[in-house]
Amino acid sequence: MSVSTGIRSTSKGSFVMQITDSAQTYDSAPIRRPDIKKKLVVVGDGGCGKTCLLTVYAENRFPEEYVPTVFENLMTTVPSPTDPSKIIELALWDTAGQEDFDRLRPLSYNDTDVILIVFACNHRPSLLNVQDKWYPEMAHFCENVPLILVCTKTDLREDQQTLSLMAAQGTTPINASEGERVAREIGARRYMECSAKAGKGVGEVFDAAIRESMKKGGLKKMKGKKCLVL
């Protein structure tokens, strides 16, 4: 099974995109230096939709093949949601959710401006792990970084095959009220939902993340959680 690693550069809106290969470089417009630089890190269980969320936002395409990520860094430029005349260079850090990478993953947390904790609406363990694994890890390594809780794959709430499979297992998709409750319990700045496959809510997630990255204050302490030891 292959895994994804590496760095890619892209752009959104009307800003410059530079495409580089071993032969030559093409520039679609003069390069303008960003006014602001921000770093966003996405964490969550493996297979919960982190890579699809980032790829749809940064490259406007949905990856059909699932390739487990070790780490991947996407660079994109976007207009500031608070001042469109300014350009933000947004570094998007995709991380591995598998336990095998628990010791490697924290290397990506340095200088993070905002965190997305992601869970999938069709996989209840991924929401349980928000409180049991991902929030404690963020509170330990990124104590002063704003956090947004994101529910992905919301299109599956109406997918009959998914509903039938979950019903056979005695469960149902996670609803918004369940996600909102967990967001309150971990002190997340916001709770948001999206479907990368349907292209719904993706831009709103990152717009909110950029806005929160510009505010002061970080994670709140959640009662009853101990420090994480890796």
pLDDT digits (tens, 9 = 90+) for 20-40: 233 333 344 557 789 999 999
Torsion of CA 186, 188, 190, 192, to 10 degrees: -60
Q: Which pTM was predicted?
A: 0.81
Domains, the chain, with CATH or none: 4-213 (3.40.50.300)
Q: Which distant-in-sequence residues (6+ apart) come within 8 Å of 169 by Cβ?
A: none
Residue with tokens 């959680």: 225
Lowest mean pLDDT among 65-79, 98-112, 137-151, 152-166: 65-79
Say what the pLDDT of residue 64 is: 77
- Quick: pLDDT tens for 122-179: 999 999 999 999 999 999 999 989 999 999 999 999 999 999 999 999 999 999 999 9
CB 116 within 8 A of CB 189: no
